[in-house]
Chains A and B, each alone.
Chain A
Amino acid sequence: MATDTQPPRLARPATRTMGRSVLLTLPIVLWSFLMFGNPSVHQDLQAHIAGAMTAVFMIVLFFMMMKTGTTYRWRRWFFVSLGLLFPIGFIHNVIAMRGTMGIPVEEMIAGRTPFCFMPIPLLILPAAFTRTLVFPGSILPNGGMSGSGIAAMVGLWLAITLVIGKGWCSYACFFGGIEEGIAAVPKRAKIRKIDPRWRYLPWAVLLAMVLLSLALFEPAYCMWLCPFKAVSEYVAARNTVGLIQNGIFVLLFAGLVIALPLLTKKRTQCSFFCPFGAFQSIFNKTSIFEVKIDQSRCKPCVLCQNACPNMSLSKESVARGEALMSCMKCGACVDACPRQAVVWHIKGTDVAWKPERARLMFLYAAWAMAVMFGGSIIAQGIATILHFLA
């Protein structure tokens, strides 16, 4: 009798007509024009073409989200492109400016080390106790190697985080796309049973790195553990310690970003290691958007848990009707649920009440950030490729 009381299985509610989908995409068309249509930003023809290609790419993906009512696979196209094109643009940039991917000590002393978002949690305690930033960069927004100092990245990070919380890890992080792309390659996971306790490891890494950064007065994660140093820039190996550091970067990249995603079909670096992701989880508590489970529709089938790329749904959390605080808002679980029980949600509203409205509001905010931040990185990567082809 229990099945009789459950709501009937619904057709996907958000499949829209062409006209309505176009209408809903218009704000993103306008936004993309604002972000990529300024001729003063782009210097040459290749950059103009790259900007136009990126704008079209982002508009088409958003249109498909509107048309099909699904989010994950279209977002994944963007995110994987971001992950693959970031190293191309970045490495080309550093090699053009300093001739090597290794950070020379001269550049550190000159405060020209590019600042990515990863060290942000590591800077907090030393800054709080001594007003000192333990990073060899420039504080000024227009400082640093390519005019993007620490203040610029902190400004972008905090603004985007205020808007989408841990959605940063699905719409802005320029590293996660590499493993998301690799995780998408195999048809089936070879390792399916993963001990859920591994989920706590990023918190342990975060705590250890924050304390070590305070004690050693250096960005400990960047110096010793960041797998993405292998595809961005690394400590120039001036001595044996430098060689060991670079060896660790390559091993972690090979293990966490290539091998394990291939075996598990999960974003293993993000799920089980990334201290920034753990730190970012805190901001899911302040974000107005979240993923909820409508328990009146849910028939615990674990499809959502299997679909989640970073194990942010557990049996217990589904029973509570919510995702864990590590949820990256990628939309995989929402798309995977055949009963539309997993829904986008605005805090304070009833769970089952107009989830598509919540999805739209979240996607407008998230996609605006994706076009602005990720889009500019994609455009730089495409421009680099066009430069090589020209």
Chain B
Amino acid sequence: MRLRAKLGYTAAGLTVLAALLTPFLLYGLIAKGFVGLGLHVDEMYSGGPKLRSVQKGDYSITIHRAVYPHLLQSENSFVQLDWSPVSALPAHVSDAVDIDGDGQPDVRVSFDVPSDPKAQLRVNVEPLNPRYQAMRDVEKGRFSRLIVRVDNAILVRVPLAKP
């Protein structure tokens, strides 16, 4: 048998072996290697890393780092604010939030907290700093301006004013 044929059969045998090892070893190794690449999900979805939390009585407001769109991404830049836990929120929330941490409030965020977790939320945002855009009765039409309930938190995304 020629060398090329021997190599071919060896490779085919190794391929069958790889198939047998896939569920027990190969698949897990590749998945682990993929996680090890250090990739992250686009912040337009995940909301950006958390910067700090502000305690407001029984609940807290978590402020995320501003998220900016890539290239031709059809969204505005925004800042995500999380109110949690939902069970500790009053029926109506109206909080002035210092987003940039300079001691001055930047936006006033107001929304109702319905008891039905599936009820549609609406948010009003009054900018106290020209860096942020106003929102009136906004639901969840766009990733960069919305209010949604995710698990035990209510997330508000406030769009940044265009420079």
- The chain A residues found within 8 Å of chain B, CB to CB, are 31, 35, 105-106, 108-111, 126-127, 130-141, 150-152, 154-156, 158-160, 162-164, 214-218, 238-239, 287-289, 346-350, 353, 358, 361-362, 364-366, 368-369, 372
Contacts and interface: CB of A to CB of B under 8 A. Distances in A.
Contacts of B6: 348
Contacts of A126: 42, 70
A347 B11 contact: yes
Contacts of A348: 4-9, 11
Contacts of B13: 361
A108 B45 contact: yes
Nearest to A142: B31
Given A133-B40, A138-B41, A287-B15, 18 more contacts: A105-B143, A106-B150, A109-B45, A109-B148, A126-B42, A132-B39, A133-B39, A135-B41, A136-B45, A141-B35, A151-B35, A216-B73, A238-B140, A348-B5, A361-B13, A361-B15, A365-B19, A368-B20
B16 A364 contact: yes
Interface in B30-57: 30-32, 34-35, 37-47
Contacts of A155: 26-32, 34
Q: Give the dominant DSSP class at A's interface.
A: helix
A289 B15 CA distance: 9
A142 B31 CA distance: 10
Contacts of A109: 45-47, 143, 148, 150, 155
A131 B39 contact: yes
Contact of B27 (A130, A131, A150, A156): A156
Judged by DSSP, the binding face of B is helix
Contacts of A105: 140, 143, 146, 148
A51 B66 CA distance: 48
B149 A106 contact: yes
A217 B69 contact: yes
Contact of A159 (B5, B18, B44): B18
Contacts of B150: 106, 109-110
A163 B18 CA distance: 7
B19 A368 contact: yes
A345 to B, nearest CB: 9
A287 B16 CA distance: 12
Interface residues of B, number: 51
Contacts of A362: 12
A367 B110 CA distance: 58
B8 A361 contact: no
Nearest to B30: A155
A247 to B, nearest CB: 18
B12 A151 contact: no
B34 A365 contact: no
Contact of A111 (B22, B38, B41, B140): B41
Interface string B117-157: 00000000000000000000000110100101111000100
A217 B22 contact: no
Which of A150, A163, A238 counts the most chain B CB atoms within 10 A?
A163
Nearest to A155: B31
A347 B2 CA distance: 12
B71 interface: yes
A377 B131 CA distance: 50
Contacts of B19: 163-164, 364-366, 368-369
B91 interface: no
Nearest to A156: B27
26 contacts: A108-B45, A109-B45, A111-B45, A127-B39, A140-B35, A141-B31, A151-B31, A151-B32, A155-B28, A156-B27, A158-B30, A163-B18, A214-B71, A216-B73, A238-B141, A346-B9, A348-B4, A348-B5, A358-B12, A361-B13, A361-B15, A365-B15, A366-B19, A369-B19, A369-B22, A372-B23
